[in-house]
Amino acid sequence: MVAAAAAAAAALWLGVPRRRVALVAGAVVAVVMAVVIVGMILWVNTRSGSTHIARAVSLARSATGRRELVEIAQRKMAMNIRLMRYTGWTRLLWALIASVLYLVGGGFKLPHEHRLAVLAAITGALAALVANDSGVVACATAAMAPGFLLIAHGLDEAWAGR
């Protein structure tokens, strides 16, 4: 859900021609998503105190909450680093990052709408990297769709001789 919110906010920010309107629209999306996420956390917490989200919320309320939340973030980062070392998803992620950097650097001449879609999808994928324990896998999976769009566009350009 965090990844979807980040992608939506990025699409609005990049896609709306006037920056002020884009900032307002992005802020509205962020606030709505924050309210939805908090509502879901509270709903889960009242249903069952045994989920990891409910435990994190109760830790945040306690006196040692900040320290505990920092430890949770450190465990998430350690898991992502471990996964980056030992999983094949990392290679896919690096290839997709390279293709996006090539796009941003002007290597592909994508139509404006496609460029926005790719950048919004990559923003969502990066949010998945940060928000998930196995963020490398989530990020690489989410980044495959825009990666395939870039590959298809590159093949079209090559066939057309441009």
Q: What pLDDT does residue 90 have?
A: 85
Q: What pLDDT does residue 89 have?
A: 82
Q: What pLDDT does residue 118 have?
A: 78
Write the CA distances from 128 to 17, 61, 114, 146, integer angstroms.
27, 25, 21, 15
Q: Could you give the number of structural domains in the chain?
A: 1
Q: pTM value?
A: 0.60
What is the C-alpha separation between 59 and 101, in angstroms, rounded? 39
Domain span including residue 148: 2-160
What is the C-alpha separation between 72 and 84, in angstroms, rounded? 18
Mean pLDDT by 10 residues, the chain (162 residues): 64 62 68 75 62 68 75 83 83 80 71 77 81 82 81 79 67
